[in-house]
Amino acid sequence: MSASGLKRTALNEEHRALGARLTDFGGWEMPLHYGSQLEEHHRVRRDAGMFDVSHMLAVDIAGEGAEPFLRALLANDVKRLTATGRALYSCMLNEDAGVLDDLIAYRFGPSEFRVVVNAGTADKDLDWMRQQLAARGDRATMRPRRDLAMLAVQGPQARERFWAAWPATRQASESLKTFQAAQLTADGVDLVIARTGYTGEDGFEVMLPADRCVDLWRRLMDAQVAPCGLGARDTLRLEAGMNLYGQDMDESVTPMEAGLAWTVNLDPGHDFIGRQALERRSPRFQLLGLLLQDKGVLRSHQPVRAAGGEGLITSGTFSPTLSRSIALARLPLTAQAGDRVEVQIRGKWLHALAVKYPFVRKGQPLIELDHPTPPEKMQ
């Protein structure tokens, strides 16, 4: 705990030593950038960068009741994780089908799972999960893993650099496909390596004892992996069309209203908390991408005018890969990709185009830009 009351991860001193600009994120003191968030963004798209994500919380759930418990708790279905090492992305809903959080769930065995939840919602999530477990009486234990640190190493060269930094991990993790994880012991350290991420690039997310994290960070630095902060994390995830809890969705909206219908499993027999409400409710709006046509930056809460009614930006930023501003926005159900809309920015209504997202994949734009980025900017 720091004087300011913010929580610190095991890497806090490393961030300070690197001259990071620190910020409060969900009650944690985290690096915003280490000099230039634009450079950090480009390093991840072109090479390899790493993020301290130890503010997020891993919770291990085990026992014969673990699977039924998680099938009830989550809108996606862990039954579909048909082998150890598989993972999925899911929302956790309340009884009204409002989104409590989004998370990744991993299967580590027939009766062993791990969920990783967001930092700002961790306490809320734990309370909710304990409450549900007590009410349901599943035979399962819940164990928050505050002893673990987490690093995301992302980019086309990320995996190779990771193995260069830690050769003993290569064999167990080399054949991991996307959304697969391996539990292994390397040089006496127990860790989990998952081929997942929040950037739209290839790479790993690694969970290991917090007291081993500084050593790994330094070895990754030596392997030329760039430290990257929350600023780059946000521009990367938005380009990749990934939601941010608290902005793109919260308890007041359903997954369908946040572009997350694909994460909800409505198979017969999957009776999850919130299912009934979800099936009763009709979506009030949809989430679409926006590309600003004028100069400026789209930001959360800016009003949108579409042909079919009004909307609101949920997340906006400047896309370093596209050199244009992009956003996710709540729009009327009648809106479609290709529609021209207007966004109110600092008192003026500027032109934007509704587009499908993601905006970028594997470093390449997925959308047509009317005015292509000049070649000299695409280094």
Contact residues toward other proteins (CB under 8 A) are 21, 32-33, 36-38, 231, 235, 295-297, 317-318, 346
Report how far residue 201's alpha carbon sits from residue 119's, in angstroms, rounded to the nearest whole number: 22
Q: Output the smallest distance, CB 88 to other proteins, in A.
A: 31
Residue 231 or 289 with smaller CB distance to other proteins: 231
Contact 278, 270 (CB under 8 A): no
Q: Output the smallest distance, CB 355 to other proteins, in A.
A: 19
Using the Cα atoms of residue 37, residue 42, residue 45 and residue 51 in order, give the sign of their dihedral. negative
Residue 177 or 295 with smaller CB distance to other proteins: 295
Residue 233 or 330 with smaller CB distance to other proteins: 233
Q: Output the smallest distance, CB 346 to other proteins, in A.
A: 6
For tokens 């791990």, the residue is 114
For tokens 């990934």, the residue is 242
Kindly give, in sequence order, each residue whose CB lies less than 8 Å from that of residue 319, ignoring residues fewer than 6 positions away: 235, 238, 239, 325, 326, 359, 360
Beta bridge partner(s), residue 31: 22
Residue 202 or 239 with smaller CB distance to other proteins: 239
Residue 362 or 377 with smaller CB distance to other proteins: 377
Q: Output the smallest distance, CB 53 to other proteins, in A.
A: 20
Q: Output the smallest distance, CB 230 to other proteins, in A.
A: 11
Q: Output the smallest distance, CB 376 to other proteins, in A.
A: 9
Residue 40 or 205 with smaller CB distance to other proteins: 40
Residue 21 or 219 with smaller CB distance to other proteins: 21
Longest CA–CA span in the chain (Å) reads 61
Q: Output the smallest distance, CB 345 to other proteins, in A.
A: 8
Report how far residue 239's alpha carbon sits from residue 323's, in angstroms, rounded to the nearest whole number: 11
Contact 253, 98 (CB under 8 A): yes
For tokens 């994500």, the residue is 53
Tokens found for residue 1? 């705990």
- CA 35 remoteness from chain centre: 23
Q: Output the smallest distance, CB 318 to other proteins, in A.
A: 4
Nearest to 251 by CA among 91, 100, 90: 100
Tokens found for residue 198? 């929040």
Report how far residue 56's alpha carbon sits from residue 308's, in angstroms, rounded to the nearest whole number: 39
Report how far residue 118's alpha carbon sits from residue 230's, in angstroms, rounded to the nearest whole number: 14
Report how far residue 221's alpha carbon sits from residue 137's, in angstroms, rounded to the nearest whole number: 46
Residue 280 or 371 with smaller CB distance to other proteins: 371
